[in-house]
A and B are shown apart, each in its own frame.
Chain A
Amino acid sequence: MILRLENLTKQFGDLVAVKDLNLTIEEGEIISLLGPSGCGKTTTLNMIAGFERATAGKVYFDDRCVNDVHPKERNVGMVFQEYAIFTTMTVFQNISFGLRVRKVPKAEIRAEVRRIAENLNLEKILDRNVANLNLSELQRVALARTISVKPSVLLLDEPLSNLDAALRERTRVELKRFHNKWGITMIYVTHDQLEAISLAKRIAVMDSGMLQQFGTADEIYRHPANLFVAKFIGNPPSNVVRGEVVKKDRSYMFKSGEYELDISMHGDLIKKALKGNKLAISFHTEDVKITRSRNQKNSTPVEVFVVELLGYDQIIDLKVDDLIIRALVPSSMEVKVDERLFMDIPVDKINLFDLETEKNIFLTAG
């Protein structure tokens, strides 16, 4: 089924939860809705499921507008953050719930539940009471119950966020395996970019009710459409430096306070930027190179401000005049606070933003 959202808008009183959302999800595709809490992800899901009435805009299942279709008729499956398991029932009763509501013959129910349970590694606990299950099992029971009625689209609302790290990873892998095998259209809501990237081919980044960017993980990572996406994607968060572009001799320099970066290599793209004066560049922490000796003529001398060990990697806060630039480097490089080093920002990997529109100039110019 192709799911299409057309100018979907939801208002709660004065609060606009979702604004003019346009999104098309292909048959069998799994996409992630990624954004901070309160960005409208769950409201969007609720409108697709039919729990919330859209203030404006339409939800299409294939060519059928389902705005006025009751949730029970929409044939969607939904997995909730809090599992929504019926605690008064056993695992079997939970999984067979939808089938029993639909009055499917008993023998058929048994066969179907067994088939799904095998797929999700639940066959050994079918007779158990749900009170004794661990969180991963609970979430898989919820998933099993949801897919037992063969929904045409599966909506997952932060299904893993209550799980601890190890279980989360295992359940994520199970989910991915499950999707590969069943090929069901899925919308996966999360605030965790790692989950979004690992599960979905395409990611829709949302903020304040608006779609910020819809694209592959690589597109979002390499070419963020606007300043919000640039700040939101990347772990640790990307560096954003505000400043302006000035022409110096024949080259174009990005200037922030005393700090200057030659960005002439982006050529024509910058000419457009010269018109707007307030600008910002962004680059990922892992793209920042640190060296003990000056290896290029435009390397910038910096001072180490803070060092945070993360295990294999470490985050180093570098001080350039009033600026703090963060770099992610392997822990094997020994760095001391207050040490003087040299930093290179990879000019080919930066993105340039107009601070007024917050849009990526490189993308809009192209």
Chain B
Amino acid sequence: MSKRSYWEENKLLKAFRFFAIFIVVVISLFPIFWMFSTSLKPSYEWTPATPIWITKNGTLNNYQTVLLGPGRAKGGWHELVGGELTGSMEGGAGKVSLKGESALFMPLFTSLLVCGSATALSIIIGMLAAYAISRYKFGGNFFSFFILSARMFPPIAVVIPLVIMFSIVGLLDSFIGLIIAYTGFTLPFSVWMVKSFIDEVPKELEEAAIVDGMTNFQAILKVTVPLTRGGIAATALFVFIINWGEFLVAFLLSATKVITIPVLLSKYFTTVQGRLYGPQAALGIIASIPVIIFAFIIQKHLVRGLTFGAVKR
């Protein structure tokens, strides 16, 4: 037996580290793999006795169902049990498809519109609020914590009164209603995240810009915002993902018109077949595409690059 040297030990450690990372990656990626795999399975393989990892009878029927609506897909899962399924589908998905558009079009459009505008609003308002709190100590020490208080209740406790209020002012099942709700719910996050980034920009930078001839607002826009761009992009992505996957509020505030993707997902359910795992998986795959695209677009801003703010060493 040769003596174990320092280097051998190190190699072992390296191998172990690699293995640990591998496990973590597998665990985090497995649901995505399973979703993708399921989206290609025919209905009889969705919940078999023994798990099927990769189907041998791959089909695009699930995607067809999602895109065209249950009634229009040819050779899909519903043909196995006949046309009665279409009738028993609940709610909007079927109705939307009647407009002659893709069944997915309206929910996707709704989700993009609502999440996009709510994210933009949340970031803009959040940035202004964060600036006031960070620079002018608006509301003192207490205020920034107070903002978070809405997030300290269980969401359901906040949503129910909201539904009642919205029904009174007629904002139920409307785009504006959902946008307001999403903006409000994500605002605490935007304020807190953006505030932490603004805190890092020395106020001397703005002062320098001001004595050089800029107005206060120009200084914020031309000096502080570019420096916090990465942080703002990260916050936007974060807020967008929250909104994109949000179910409870969307479900309670919507009836037939404003159906977001998570709400649509919950409607893939029939009395005969129970959960329609295949179309749900297919919708899941489709729904993750906008988030991935969004992340790619702002990716270059996510890297902080230069030292933040003034160069300190």
Contacts and interface: CB of A to CB of B under 8 A. Distances in A.
Interface of A: 49, 51, 70-72, 74, 76-78, 80-88, 97-98, 101-102, 130-131, 133, 135, 138, 142, 145-146, 149, 151, 162
Given A87-B309, A88-B227, A131-B307, A80 B212 contact: no
18 contacts: A49-B211, A72-B212, A72-B213, A72-B214, A78-B208, A80-B204, A82-B204, A82-B310, A82-B312, A84-B202, A84-B204, A86-B209, A98-B213, A101-B213, A102-B213, A142-B208, A145-B212, A151-B211
Contacts of B310: 82-85, 87
Contact of A149 (B212, B218, B306): B212
- 3 A-B pairs with least C-beta separation: A98-B212, A84-B208, A84-B204
Contact of B207 (A51, A87, A88): A51
B205 interface: yes
B290 interface: no
Contact of B306 (A49, A74, A131): A131
A191 B227 CA distance: 31
Given A84-B202, A98-B213, A145-B212, A130 B207 contact: no
A72 B210 contact: yes
A145 B310 CA distance: 15
A71 B216 CA distance: 9
A17 B181 CA distance: 45
A80 B208 CA distance: 8
Nearest to A76: B211
A71 B211 CA distance: 6
B214 A84 contact: no
Interface string B182-225: 00000000000000000000101101111111110010000100
Nearest to A132: B311
B211 A86 contact: no
A102 B214 CA distance: 9
Contacts of A71: 207, 210-211
Contacts of A162: 312
Interface in B124-142: none
Interface string B91-114: 000000000000000000000000
A83 B311 contact: yes
A101 B227 contact: no
Nearest to B310: A82
Contacts of B204: 80-82, 84
B208 A87 contact: no
Nearest to B205: A84
B212 A84 contact: no
B4 interface: no
B211 A146 contact: yes
Contacts of A135: 313
A87 to B, nearest CB: 5
Contacts of A151: 211
A138 B313 CA distance: 12
B226 interface: yes
Contact of B211 (A72, A102, A133): A72
B91 to A, nearest CB: 50
Nearest to A98: B212
A138 B204 CA distance: 15
